[in-house]
Amino acid sequence: MLGSREPEVYGFQTLADINDECEEYATEIGFALECRQSNSEGELVTIIQQARTTCSGLIINAGAYTHTSIAIHDALKMLDVPVIEVHLSNPQAREAFRHHSYISPIAKGTICGFGAHGYMLALNALRALLDDEG
């Protein structure tokens, strides 16, 4: 619902706009990128589990599941690749129930509050992490 849901918080860009920007930037920095989205917690768990054998890193914006999903937390713990948590808004500047993240303890880092630009920051961070490993 990006672009129409609370644009004062999440901006006016659609998910397709953000995915296009990310794919273009990923190509510039030498990444192959696969963008996935689901409103289903179980499907997100499946996507994360599939990433165990197909990805060098994972950037995740779990939305409200960030604050509620032990299943996503457990799936992310199984990964042997860097995980970066992204939020368009700054959860710490919002309602108290958004202050806890089940993802942060697993993530190498969290990028929040920079809108869609946070994904470019996450791609740069992932590039640096993978360069340090290699």
> Does 25 qualify as catalytic in the annotation?
no
State the catalytic residue, choosing from 10, 25, 67, 117: 10
Secondary structure, 3-state, 108-131: CEEEECCCCHHHHHHHHHHHHHHH
Cα–Cα distance measured from residue 65 to residue 5, given in angstroms and rounded to the nearest whole number: 17
> Does 10 qualify as catalytic in the annotation?
yes
State the catalytic residue, choosing from 65, 73, 87, 102: 87
φ, ψ of residue 109 in degrees (nearest 5) = -170, 165
Active site residues: 10, 87
